[in-house]
Amino acid sequence: MRIIHDARSVKHDPELFFRRGSLIPHPERADRYRVLRDAAAAAGHRITEAADQGLGPIRAVHDAGYLDLLSTVWERRAEIPGVGDEILTGHFARPHMHRAPTGLLGRLGLHLADTSTPIRAGTWEAVYGSAQAAIGGADCALDEGHAYALCRPPGHHAYADSAGGFCFLNNAAIAAERMVAATGGRVAILDIDVHHGNGTQGIFYARADVLTVSVHADPADYFPFFAGYADETGSGEGTGHNRNRPLPHGSGDGPWLDAIGEALAEIAVARPAALVVALGLDASEHDPIGVLRVTGAGFGQAARMIAGAGLTTLLVQEGGYLCDALPRNLVTFLGAFDA
């Protein structure tokens, strides 16, 4: 398996995260990139630095105004009185608040879903590099049959015009869009991160050419709360091309593997030209913020099922937080694709 990565990933390293009223160490740390890269390399996978293919493939998915804000806000930080080494707003536009203010804090509130995505000196470089890993990974999977894009920061909570849930640019969506363009066919995205892939769902919700399927913990009492329910099936031309499989918290391997099996059966019916797996590893029983209690053996079984589908497959790293099981489950997963 070839690993496509971008060393700029480490340039976004948030320190603290506001959670349930307290500041805690931010779970989405730069060390995740190092741990995952080193584990994949030690397991014998070939590591390739992503080429820089520019903004074009990112613009194919994301809103121009959002990209402009994200890429320039650090340089413009002096416009925010008293700004420190991190830019964040606490003012978020609700659906009924539709005016676009001119000031930076208000503009940020139009494009941020929560307080988990602070913007720091290296944030744009890191998220741009993470997207380059996805773009290079898509090309590599089309060439070689499969590839792993070591994307960090993650992407599946980012919508076309907003950051949230530790995500800025939707790496899996950018890769899928590139694979649609390259193949002229349909692409499926299977998201097995413990959190619903709300941004990815939102980006493709009205489209029939990208089937989005997510298996995740029930959002009724879990992030991302406002999407991820079973009755969200797509709109307009996309009707029937989104599927959600929310699972009870703590349900473990059996229901998770059953849901992945059902998702793969739906994907097989669509006969996609390629599959993107939004590979969160935070469904693990050891993950510090996960709630699905999936074992190492469960990850191995899921990987064999997905590899066994025989599709051109790009694995895109999503969540999965620092613990001993994180690199172990990655190595288990990648191993299923080399046989």
> What backbone phi and psi angles, to 5 degrees, belong to 21?
90, -5
Smallest separation (angstroms) from Zn ion to the CB of 274: 23
Closest CA to 77 of 110, 103, 114: 103
Interface with ligand Q9C, residue 287, by CB under 6 A:
no
Whole-angstrom Cα distance, residue 210 to residue 140?
19
DSSP code for 193: S
Give me the residues paired with residue 148 across strands. 3, 315
- Which tokens sit at 217? 């913990």
Binding residues for Zn ion (CB under 5 A): 193, 195, 280, 282, 319
Smallest separation (angstroms) from ligand Q9C to the CB of 252: 19
Among 5, 29, 157, 178, which residue sits at the site for ligand Q9C (rule: CB under 6 A)?
157
- Residue 128, helix vs strand vs coil: helix
Interface with ligand Q9C, residue 219, by CB under 6 A:
no
Smallest separation (angstroms) from ligand Q9C to the CB of 34: 18
Which partner from the list ligand Q9C, Zn ion, none does 107 bind, CB cut-off 5 to 8 Å by kind? none
Stretch that binds ligand Q9C, among 121-129, 138-146, 153-161, 256-264 (CB under 6 A): 153-161
Smallest separation (angstroms) from Zn ion to the CB of 288: 11
Interface with ligand Q9C, residue 165, by CB under 6 A:
yes
Closest residue to ligand Q9C, judged by C-beta, is 319
Among 6, 13, 218, 318, which residue sits at the site for ligand Q9C (rule: CB under 6 A)?
318
Whole-angstrom Cα distance, residue 194 to residue 202?
17
Among 206, 289, 309, 322, which residue sits at the site for ligand Q9C (rule: CB under 6 A)?
289
Smallest separation (angstroms) from ligand Q9C to the CB of 116: 5
Which partner from the list ligand Q9C, Zn ion, none does 154 bind, CB cut-off 5 to 8 Å by kind? ligand Q9C
The residue type of 172 is A
Evaluate the CA torsion angle 119, 158, 193, 126 in order and state its sign.
negative
How many Å is the Cα radius of gyration of the chain?
18
- Which tokens sit at 106? 């208000």
- Residue 17, helix vs strand vs coil: strand
Residue 249 annotated in active site:
no
Smaller CB separation from ligand Q9C, 116 or 242? 116
Question: What's the Cα-to-Cα distance from 41 to each of 2, 38, 134, 270, 293, rounded to whole Å?
Answer: 10, 5, 18, 34, 27
Interface with ligand Q9C, residue 191, by CB under 6 A:
no
Place of tokens 């019916």: 269
Smaller CB separation from ligand Q9C, 156 or 286? 156
Q: Catalytic residue among 5, 12, 156, 157, which?
A: 157
Which partner from the list ligand Q9C, Zn ion, none does 191 bind, CB cut-off 5 to 8 Å by kind? none
Among 118, 129, 154, 219, which residue sits at the site for ligand Q9C (rule: CB under 6 A)?
154
DSSP code for 16: E
Whole-angstrom Cα distance, residue 106 to residue 93?
8
Would you call the peptide bond into 153 cis, given omega within 30 degrees of 0 as the criterion? yes
Give me the residues paired with residue 189 across strands. 212, 276
| Binding string, residues 106-145; x marks residues near ligand Q9C by CB under 6 A | ----------x-----------------------------
Smaller CB separation from Zn ion, 5 or 195? 195
Among 2, 37, 107, 195, which residue sits at the site for ligand Q9C (rule: CB under 6 A)?
195
Whole-angstrom Cα distance, residue 175 to residue 57?
8
**Residue 179 CB neighbour total at 10 angstroms:** 26
Smaller CB separation from Zn ion, 6 or 282? 282
* 263-282 residues near ligand Q9C, rule: CB under 6 A: 280, 282
Smallest separation (angstroms) from Zn ion to the CB of 194: 5
Whole-angstrom Cα distance, residue 50 to residue 82?
37
Q: Please give the positions annotated as active site.
A: 157
